[in-house]
Amino acid sequence: MSLRDRLRRPDILTAPGVYDGLTASLAEAAGFEALYLSGAAVAYTRLGRPDIGLTSVTEMAETMTLIADRVTLPVIIDADTGFGNALNAQRTMRLYERAGAAALQIEDQSYPKRCGHLADKALIGAGEMAGKIAAMADARQSEATLIIARTDAIAVEGFAAAIDRAETYLEAGADVLFVEAPQTDDQLARVAETFRDRVPLLANMVEGGATPIRSAGDLERLGFSIVIFPGGIVRALARTAQDYYRSLHDHGSNRPFGDRMFDFAGLNAVIGTPEMLARGKRYDGDEG
């Protein structure tokens, strides 16, 4: 089932954040129907840096390719600002589609951008953003590939301006709308009331961010079609890794941490090593 077809169902789609083949495979095994690859997660894990526009389109496309090679789930990928003007946005569409992305999310910040839940953001004009959306629609090879238009205007121009921008982006050809960082439950509800009968809506849950954390069920009742938890896995693993390294440094051994980690055989079972080796034997030539 394509992502476009899945969004025709009334139940909300929960897309957890992933950043490589391992986390994608674990999320798939947990039963999710779609995944979300954020620029923030790639910046955090590949660069060890904050989400302030440091990742490149090449790094994102490479990561998308590796994930698509490992899982079959549709992946929503962060296209940031399109990495430049409308022509850059078209190139981003082509690269991401070839890498296996099911949907591209583009935002109306100026470049370099920053995390939607950080302060001091700046925006491009709504008309320029609309042009990027139209350019991406012209460049895509498959109508199954979705364009998710995000506006960061709430923190910069106010809630009313964010709604106006979202209207403009819908008219420009966006398949899904993403009004970033509503600051209250009332704002979440007003976004849903304005658009839910016309276009799928995406909500972003960032632990400690500007938006109140709500469950998928809560957001479904409001009228949202997709909820993403883009950086949760990185925050969880970073906390665990910090504890792990501290324990190893203090004890000179992993024994005190043993009940919080896989052993060699356990991890191999999770990533499918026995099955993959057995599959490889089918292609071995005769020895004698």
pLDDT band of 221, cuts 50, 70, 90: very high
| CA separation for the pair 202, 176 (Å, rounded) | 7
The whole-number average pLDDT for the span 34-56 is: 94
Domain extents in the chain: 3-231, 238-281
The SS3 of residue 113 is: coil
Based on the number of CB atoms within 10 Å of its own CB, is 103 exposed (0-12), middle (13-18) or buried (19 or more)? buried
The whole-number average pLDDT for the span 24-30 is: 98
| CA separation for the pair 269, 288 (Å, rounded) | 32
- Side by side, which strands form the sheet with 176-179? 176-179, 146-151, 103-107, 75-78, 35-37, 13-18, 226-229, 202-204
* Cα–Cα nearest to 199, from 226, 165, 176: 176
Scanning the structure block, which residue is given the tokens 């090679």?
A: 69
The whole-number average pLDDT for the span 259-279 is: 96
The whole-number average pLDDT for the span 154-183 is: 97
pLDDT at residue 121 in the model: 80
The whole-number average pLDDT for the span 210-215 is: 94
pLDDT at residue 131 in the model: 98
Q: pTM for the complete prediction?
A: 0.94
Amino acid at 83: F
The whole-number average pLDDT for the span 196-202 is: 97
Scanning the structure block, which residue is given the tokens 């190893």?
A: 248
Residues 6+ apart with CB under 8 A from 217: 12
Contact by Cβ (8 Å): 151, 124? no
| CA separation for the pair 268, 177 (Å, rounded) | 40
pLDDT at residue 175 in the model: 98
| CA separation for the pair 145, 104 (Å, rounded) | 8
Residue 198 has pLDDT above 60, yes or no: yes
pLDDT band of 119, cuts 50, 70, 90: low
The whole-number average pLDDT for the span 192-207 is: 97
Contact by Cβ (8 Å): 153, 108? yes
Please name the helix (run of DSSP H) or strand (run of DSSP E) that holds residue 142, with its range, or none.
Answer: none
Q: What is the pLDDT of residues 91-104, one digit of tens each?
A: 999 999 999 999 99
The whole-number average pLDDT for the span 232-259 is: 97
- Compute φ and ψ for 55, nearest 5 degrees: -75, 150
pLDDT at residue 115 in the model: 66
pLDDT at residue 51 in the model: 87
- Compute φ and ψ for 212, nearest 5 degrees: -60, 135
Residue 33 has pLDDT above 50, yes or no: yes
Residue 227 has pLDDT above 80, yes or no: yes
* Cα–Cα nearest to 186, from 178, 194, 177: 194
Residues 6+ apart with CB under 8 A from 65: 99, 100
Residue 153 has pLDDT above 90, yes or no: yes
Joined together, the tokens standing for residue 72 give 């079959």
Residue 241 has pLDDT above 70, yes or no: yes
pLDDT band of 118, cuts 50, 70, 90: low
Joined together, the tokens standing for residue 17 give 């954040």
Contact by Cβ (8 Å): 188, 182? yes
The SS3 of residue 17 is: strand
Percent of the chain with pLDDT over 70: 97
pLDDT at residue 288 in the model: 46
Residue 150 has pLDDT above 50, yes or no: yes
For the domain covering 3-231, report its CATH number: 3.20.20.60
The whole-number average pLDDT for the span 167-196 is: 97
The whole-number average pLDDT for the span 125-148 is: 98
| CA separation for the pair 117, 206 (Å, rounded) | 8
The whole-number average pLDDT for the span 26-50 is: 97
**Measured CA distances, 154 to 121, 188, 190, 213, 219 (Å):** 10, 12, 13, 17, 19
